[in-house]
Structure 1
Amino acid sequence: MKYLYSTSCSKSRLREIRAFTEGVLRKHDMDELEISTIVLAVDEVCANLIIHGHECDDSDELQLEIDIHSDKVIFDIIDRSEMFNINKYKAPQLEDIIKMQRKGGLGLILVKKIMDEIKIFPKGEFYVCQLTKKIA
């Protein structure tokens, strides 16, 4: 079953993205902890795209497509701007982040740990960040 959500690239829309994602997952009787971690990962990717890819320009738009299968959930985050390839991201050591007292930098680490597969690819005039999570 597929669900589609379109929104402007405003940080204020992140709450709605989280609510939409959570609502879809709840319809499919998923575990609470699994729902929370998946919502966190989707939110992080959308936040990075809205903040860094669009500089919070609410005249820009992105789409979130959620495709529920019996054994996995696929999230396609679809956008016109070229996306940062999270697969090429080399995570710093947690100790280094703590020593440098960095704010941020943990989101992409979490996304890579939560999701089972991450793909970035062009699709016509758009780019897609596809996150896949296996489910029981």
Structure 2
Amino acid sequence: GGLPDADIDATEAWDHTTGGLTPAGDTIVVAVIDDGTDPDHPDLAANLWRNYAEIPYNNIDDDDNGYIDDHWGWNVSAGIDLVQFGSHGVKVSGLIGAVGDNQTGIAGVNWDVKILNVVGITNVESEV
């Protein structure tokens, strides 16, 4: 079944690039708005965006961007820094940017990308 060549040709694209920097030298960052991800996941940890201008868990907005302790991203649903470990967000983040060629799990479309974690959905029915 299915249509011939109805895929994204990822393996062909990887012959040209697996991600990294833009032609201007900027890091590629993709915001994933979902239910969160796991910062310790072996296929994701190296590719998760971190706000290094923020000192985590000191209750101070170190980078003065209006968000306290947004080291791993932001939870817009709760208005806090807690980035839950959502199963759907892990899967979506993995499709976009799981580390490639590491003999673990899957390879994301972009092997060398930073995933910005934005929790914007919830599994709590009363909050939907």
Q: Assess same fold via TM > 0.5.
A: no
Radius of gyration: which is bigger?
2
Which structure shows the higher strand fraction? 1
- TM normalised by structure 1 equals 0.25
Q: Which has the higher helix share?
A: 1
Larger relative contact order, structure 1 or 2 (CA cutoff 8 Å, min sep 6): 2
